[in-house]
Structure 1
Amino acid sequence: MRKPIILLPGAGRAYDMGTMSAVFKADGDEANGAYSISEWWLEPYSKGPGAHSHPEDDIFYVLEGVMSFLVGDQWTDAPKGSFVLAPGGVTHDFENRTDVRAGALNISTPGNFEQHMPSIVEWFEKNPLGTTR
């Protein structure tokens, strides 16, 4: 039987990628491999991970600020409270084009995404994020 998880604001496993950061709330065995839940935060005028695709669905709910999302070939500015679904296999990206910090809750399904974070952090250490200006 899995244990319940209760995390206070800001708690979780943090990953720093320069002007982008992530805090993982539940992944792997905690989620029985079914999903991965994390927060992604971008400082003002910060590029995101870059256009990419993968087999998992990526679901985003904007927590703060305005995040710009690429889904397929269309960019959309998504203010706080917006919901975005990038189905598996669809190219997607996100960035913050504003002068205030922005963040989104992300659910990736199926899960076990966090196992990739050490190599992602290492990649961004060698390839710092650009700006949207």
Structure 2
Amino acid sequence: MRNDFDPATVGPDGRPPARERLFDPAAEGPWRGSIEGVAMGGAVTVLAYGTDTRGEGPRLHVHPYDETFIVVAGRARFFVGETTIDAGAGEAVLGPAGIPHRFENLGPGRLQTIDIHHSPRWIQTDLE
């Protein structure tokens, strides 16, 4: 059992619970959808990415904030600055702010990720 803080020391901040559609499961293409944190009154933006094609993935890009990648299914190779990290389903990878990064499907089969941008808005510069 976790007991990291005293709940009596934190009160509601007035934001209501919220719901948004992240992606349509029947949609085609690798970019399934995104929800900016501002849409839900939150501090993070969430993206869903998936591809069945080995070697396919987002182009090299950079953000002014951290990005956390969660591999939901399959295997991916992440290129984060000068570091290469292979990760599989159930693992997470951090792309620190200001470090160019990309990833690709290692196969076989589908790669599905949830990408968490540590910002209420999606801010990105593509480098390729």
Q: Does residue 54 of the first structure (1) align with residue 67 of the second (2)?
A: no
Give identity over the alignment, percent.
Answer: 26
Q: Does residue 40 of the first structure (1) align with residue 53 of the second (2)?
A: no
Which residue of 2 is the match for residue 127 of structure 1? none
TM-score, normalising length: structure 2: 0.70
For residues 48-86 of structure 1, what are the alpha-carbon distances to aligned partners after superposition, in whole Å with 9 as ceiling and x for unaligned?
221111202110111011111111122222111111011
8 Å contact 1:26–1:36 — kept in the other structure? yes
Offset, 1:94:
1.0
TM-score, normalising length: structure 1: 0.68
> Which structure has greater helix proportion?
1
Which of 111, 118, 122 aligns to 2:120? It is 111
Which of 80, 91, 99 aligns to 1:90? It is 99
Which of 22, 25, 34 aligns to 1:24? It is 34
Which of 44, 47, 69 aligns to 2:78? It is 69
8 Å contact 2:37–2:119 — kept in the other structure? no
Q: Distance in 1 between matches of 2:15 and 2:63?
A: 27
- Matched residue pairs, number? 110
Q: Which amino acid is the alignment partner of residue 98 of structure 2?
A: G
Distance 1:46 1:19, change over 3 A: farther
Q: Distance in 1 between matches of 2:57 and 2:85?
A: 14
Q: Which 10-residue stretch deviates more, 37-46 or 21-30?
A: 21-30
Runs of 5+ consecutive residues of structure 2 not aligned to the other structure? 1-13
Local SS of the residue matching 2:61: coil
Give 1 or 2 for the bigger CA radius of gyration: 2
Local SS of the residue matching 1:67: strand
